[in-house]
Every structure is written in C-alpha cells, then in structure tokens.
Amino acid sequence: MADTLTQSLTETPVPAKAKDDKPPMPYTDLANLVRYEHVTTNLSDPLYLKASDLLAANDADVEKADFTLKDLHGKKVTLSDLRGKIVMINFWATWCPPCRAEMPVLDAIYTRFQSQGLVVLSITDEDPFKANSFVAPNNYHPPVLIDADNNVHKLFHIEGIPRTFVINRDGKLVAEAIDQRTQRQFLKMLEGTGLHP
C-alpha cells in the first residue's frame, strides 16, 4: 500500500489547501504507515515531510501527557502514578466494531501479563452506563476510564479509533497502533518492554 501511495503522490501530487494548515490526507496516511507500520518510502515531498513532522510532534506531546480519569467504579486513575509499570492505553467506543473485536484480545493480554506489571487502560468518551453495559457481560478485566470531556483524547491527538499506545516503565512511548490489532500484533508492540511470555 505504501508503495502504491508513494507512486501516486510522486506522479500526481495533491496540492495543499490554502486555508488548511494540515497536509492533505494522502500525505498523512503515508506518514502514518511509515511511522507506525514501519514501512519505507522514498517520497521527499515537502507536504509528506510536514506530515511526518506533525506525527513526531504529536508523539512528543503524548510522551509528556498526564491525566487523571475515573473508572466505571468511580476510582481515579492517574497516568503518572503508573510509572514503573508498562502501560497500554487503548482508545475505544462501543459503537466501533474494530474496537469491540480488540477487547477480548486486550483482556487476554492484560490477564496474562498483569503480574509482570502490565496495565491496560481502556479509554472511552461514552456515557459510563453505556460502556459498562458492554464490558460487564463480556467479563472485561482492564480498567475502563471515562473521558467525558474528551480532554485526554485531545492530549493524545485521537482522530480515529481504535488507537493504542504503549508506554514503558520509564514513561517513554515505545509503540503505537493506528487501527485494529491482533494478539500477535499487540504482543509485537510490547516487545522490548521487559515482559516475559
């Protein structure tokens, strides 16, 4: 896909919108593939480079981010209090089929690695009752946090879900997924964090 997109943008560049500061979507899509899917491109278009720089700036924001949210039981969870643990942050919603498909996988990974210091935080901007009515019958174990005002979504530059971030024990962002992941892909994201299968 990246090769096709690179070729398309090389042959037919997409002009920037005069009033819009963001690079056009094809450049952002390619930058996402290169940064988060570890593909390569030889495109040197200034709009692609701008898109890449924006993603790097967003990731720098994520690495500095801290938040406190309440879970479905009213307990406060603060990200900075989890330093020393491996934190997987997953943004999701009940209306999102790929998000719902990931939930059993995230639950299995959390259950398997919780004793080694893995924390999975599932963040939604939905009503707590609606979120709970989905997770309770599915016996979902990771904490579900409610971001009612979308402040944490904004801190993490969430424009689409599911979206997952892995932060290591030192508080460094080490992996990011921009769409649905399988168990194998989630485990690949956790490589290098010190977890032992």
Using the predicted structure, report yes or no on whether residue 5 has a pLDDT greater than 90: no
Q: Listing from the earlier edge strand, what are the strands of the sheet with 173-177?
A: 76-78, 68-71, 144-146, 118-124, 86-91, 163-167, 173-177
Q: Are residues 59 and 10 in the same domain?
A: yes
Q: What is the pLDDT of residues 171-185, one digit of tens each?
A: 999 999 999 999 999
Q: Are residues 129 and 102 in the same domain?
A: yes
Q: Are residues 71 and 117 in the same domain?
A: yes
Q: Are residues 35 and 125 in the same domain?
A: no
What does pTM read for this prediction?
0.88
**Tokens 């174990």 sit at which residue?**
141
Q: What is the pLDDT of residues 143-181, one digit of tens each?
A: 999 999 999 999 999 999 999 999 999 999 999 999 999
Q: Are residues 28 and 95 in the same domain?
A: no
Kindly state the average pLDDT of the residues 51-80.
Answer: 92
Q: Are residues 71 and 151 in the same domain?
A: yes
Domain range for 47 is 2-63
**11 or 66: which carries more pLDDT confidence?**
66
